[in-house]
Homo-oligomer: A and B are copies of this chain.
Amino acid sequence: MPIKVTVWNEFRHEKESEKIAAIYPDGIHGAIAAGLSGRGDFDIRVATLDAPANGLPDEILAQTDVLLWWGHKAHRDVLDDTVDRVQRRVLDGMGMVVLHSGHHSKIFKRLMGTTCNLKWREANDKERIWVVNPAHPIAEGIGDYIEIPEEEMYGEHFDIPEPDSLVFVSWFTGGEVFRSGCCYERGAGKIFYFRPGHESYPTYHNADVLKVIANGIRWTKPVDRPLPVYGLNGPNAPLESLPPKG
């Protein structure tokens, strides 16, 4: 059965800058959607910030197994209601792949509980994304490292909880390192943060970057099981076997 993927994009830079539109004529979401086809059994749709309900009404979220998130300059324009509903879906099992500047999105900060701050510099650094966990399925098909000729730099300290699994660490020309492939489990859902992808570089046309995103989708897809039962007793608690209440 195909994995139902929704590629969400802020989609502002591409409309406001000719330079960025030239790199991503169909938007970052369009480039990612096109790049994913042929890389897995995916059923892909796209959604953007300026659509009603930020493109993510309940019926779309309900049909989404894995949500990709790219945002940058308009994090504040995402409705709090959207953030609430996406968080709820993640905790109920929907996967998320959060890309690049999505680190500062409301939804990622909500799920992490931290500021998600970092160092940054836009100076055409070369980036090398090293595999530090060769056993992880998100590294499938990737050699010792991915090299990206020019990218924005992100540097430590990256204010995130220690990842449940750390898959990639980036090196930058200017002297910085960054935990650039971070796996989390939250509720019944899984989240993969993947660093590369500044809007002014053609990073989402890079085959290895797309391969990692496809791997991330497979890793974050929901697990098929009933949701946990919470609250008083739970249906199965053997009250009859308990000592009489005092």
Query: Interface stretch among A3-11, A41-49, A69-77, A179-187?
Result: A179-187
Taking a contact as CB atoms closer than 8 A, the residue among B117, B139, B174, B179 that contacts A132 in the complex is B179
Instruction: Report A204-246 CB contacts with B as 1/0, cut-off 8 Å.
Output: 0000000000000000000111111111111011110111111
Instruction: Report A113-124 CB contacts with B as 1/0, cut-off 8 Å.
Output: 111011111111
Distance (Å) between the CB of A75 and the closest chain B CB? 16
Q: Is the CB of A176 within 8 A of B186?
A: no
Taking a contact as CB atoms closer than 8 A, the residue among B126, B185, B246 that contacts A135 in the complex is B185
Q: Which residues, 24 to 55 on A, are CB-close (under 8 Å) to B?
A: none
Q: Is the CB of A237 within 8 A of B119?
A: yes
Q: Is the CB of A225 within 8 A of B156?
A: no
13 CB < 8 A contacts A-B? A115-B187, A119-B231, A120-B231, A125-B243, A132-B158, A134-B188, A134-B223, A143-B226, A150-B246, A156-B228, A157-B230, A162-B165, A171-B176
